[in-house]
Amino acid sequence: MPHVPPAVAQAQRYAEAQRYTEARNAQRYRLRPDTCRNCAHLQYEVEHIRGTKPWDQYEVRPVRTNPRCGLGDFPVVTNAVCDRHKSQ
């Protein structure tokens, strides 16, 4: 394997990263898909649930219940999508 000077290796890594970035942008790649879960219109109620196991019976956790769309005020599934999605 031939020796590659560090500056050349760094330039090659930078060029490859640029190529990846351009490909991601061309495909509109997103880590978080546009779903109701990350929509600004999502509304829900918070209930505080106590643990049921002996080791967590004194721990109270907030749980999101009754997810609804703030625009149409209808129940939603958090991994669904609509045309009026607004990112948070």
Q: pLDDT tens digit string along 11-57?
A: 888 889 899 889 888 988 877 788 888 899 999 999 988 888 788 77
Percent of the chain clearing pLDDT 70 (strictly above): 99
Residue 1 has pLDDT above 70, yes or no: no
pLDDT, averaged across the chain: 86
* Overall pTM surpassing 0.85 (yes/no): no
Q: Which positions ≥6 away from 69 have C-beta within 8 Å?
A: 36, 39, 41, 42, 43, 76, 82
Q: Which helix (H) or strand (E) holds 42?
A: strand 42-50
Rounded Cα distance, 21 and 8, in Å: 20
Instruction: Band the pLDDT of 58: cuts 50, 70, 90.
Output: confident
Q: pLDDT tens digit string along 61-79?
A: 898 999 999 998 999 998 8
Which pLDDT value is given to residue 7?
86
- Give domain limits for the chain: 6-69
